[in-house]
Amino acid sequence: MPELCTGKIEVVLHGGDGVVRHKRQSVLIPNTVAGDEITYQITEKKRGVLRGKLMEVITPSENRISPPCPVFQNCGGCALQPMHTQAQAATKTTWVTDAFKKYISETTEIMPIQPQSNPKNDTYTGRRRVRWFMQKGKLGFRKRFSHEMVHTETCMALTETLDNLRNTLELMKLAESIVSIQAVELSSGTHIILESEQACPTDFKPEHTGFQQWWWRTLGSPSIQALHKPMLTLFDSIDLKPWLDSSLDIEIGANDFVQGHAAGNQALISQVLEWSEGSKRVVDLFSGCGNLSLPIAKALGADLKGVEITGAELNPTSVKAANNNAKRLGLNASYETMDLFGKFNTESFIAADTLILDPPRKGAKRISQHINTLFPKQIIMVNCDVAAGARDAQALKDAGFKLKALRPLDLFPFAGHVEALSLWTS
């Protein structure tokens, strides 16, 4: 029987685990809040890190609340559910400011996260992108560090549309070979991707509404198969106010990346627009299907040839989508496929008024090393991995750039995740 230990949670780390001290060592304990006095058991040492299991909260922190989800301890997808929303906002803001603290000066504007409103009758936090796993006709999520599935009657993390979709899918007679289902809810409809280790049965055609596009993916294959034709074209609508009294519809395919929270994505785009105002030449690296730079193009005048947008992305499907979107919208924007982690030609990216870097989790190390040869007037960096962003920031500092503004973004409420949006000027 493991030893039963007692301690006080000192801090909650990025990812959602609390830290308690045991014999001068740190132990990571999930489902805890800073200030909790607890009993716990040490369960393992993995990669040099001690991990433990919460046994009892002896004295709860003043910021502890009763988690609203009945399976949150097993699911592990919403690590901060026991924490009051105000404390969540403060904690996530601290994760970002601590990571970037060596670059923050007296003139840096810090824009802290505002607490999420959570009215009594609206417990959905609005994630519009999901992957469920299927077992015996039921859909759910995998336990943390496990392949075991957790099923629940409702999920507070999702939009109401996706939560209702899960219930609908469970009532349908889907192919038994399906192991997981992805769904992406956009402004005009939902992509539903059925994933199986087998090829799609020739007679399989699920019922659907006029706002759903169904797909089949054989796991291990890079391609997906449309289950209904003609295929629906689905769009994500971006509000351009106050720059324009209109919105912008960006076509999003089933394989294209889209931010997991619609309101969070709108906040991200609005901030990038504000920081980019007045720019005539914008370079967008890791551009995806144009989520950040196409709204800039429309709002700042690229449809009138007043603004030039140049972008690059690793995924050729996303590059094709970005160029198609630009052409359909009549915008002066062009994108190319490029390995931004390897050797690439920087010529077309030199002397931008605004350089946007929105890399995946591993960051933009290679590009950051080229900053002193790209000569941008300012840099906007978006980081889904705060540690990688702070590492890349050192190269920006070495090239003579200063951190003008830093905004943590909570695109995954209740999860142990935060994004960092930073503005750098020379």
Per the structure, the complete domain to which residue 353 belongs is given by: 100-117+236-246+260-425
| Beta strand extents in 9-160 (DSSP E only) | 11-12, 18-22, 25-29, 37-46, 49-59, 109-110, 129-135, 138-142, 149-151
Cis omega (within 30 of 0) on the bond before 230? Answer: yes
Does residue 296 sit within a domain?
yes
Does residue 231 sit within a domain?
no
Does residue 196 sit within a domain?
yes
Asked whether residue 219 falls in the same domain as residue 365, the answer is no
pTM of the complete model: 0.92
Residue-wise over 178-216: b if at least 16 C-beta within 10 A, else e? bebbbbbbbeebbbbbbbbeeebeeeeebeeeeebbbbb
145 CB burial (10 A radius; 0-12, 13-18, 19+): exposed
Does residue 123 sit within a domain?
no
Asked whether residue 63 falls in the same domain as residue 104, the answer is no
Does residue 344 sit within a domain?
yes
Asked whether residue 203 falls in the same domain as residue 265, the answer is no
Start-end of H helices in 40-195: 72-75, 85-99, 160-171
Asked whether residue 142 falls in the same domain as residue 110, the answer is no
pLDDT computed for residue 344 by the predictor:
83
Asked whether residue 149 falls in the same domain as residue 111, the answer is no
Q: What is the pLDDT of residues 116-138, one digit of tens each?
A: 655 433 445 789 999 999 988 89
Query: Do 417 and 81 touch, CB atoms closer than 8 A?
Result: no
Does residue 173 sit within a domain?
yes
Asked whether residue 339 falls in the same domain as residue 306, the answer is yes
pLDDT computed for residue 15 by the predictor:
92
Asked whether residue 113 falls in the same domain as residue 133, the answer is no
Asked whether residue 139 falls in the same domain as residue 106, the answer is no
pLDDT computed for residue 46 by the predictor:
84
Does residue 94 sit within a domain?
no
Does residue 16 sit within a domain?
yes
Asked whether residue 171 falls in the same domain as residue 194, the answer is yes
pLDDT computed for residue 304 by the predictor:
66
pLDDT computed for residue 302 by the predictor:
63
Distance from C-alpha of 209 to C-alpha of 388, rounded to nearest angstrom: 42
356 CB burial (10 A radius; 0-12, 13-18, 19+): buried
Asked whether residue 78 falls in the same domain as residue 211, the answer is no
Coil, strand or helix: which one is 83? strand
Q: What is the pLDDT of residues 45-77, one digit of tens each?
A: 988 899 999 999 999 999 999 988 888 888 878
Asked whether residue 373 falls in the same domain as residue 340, the answer is yes
Asked whether residue 274 falls in the same domain as residue 351, the answer is yes
Number of domains in the chain: 3
At 336, which CATH number? 3.40.50.150
Q: Report residues of the chain scoring pLDDT below 70.
A: 1, 116-124, 302-305
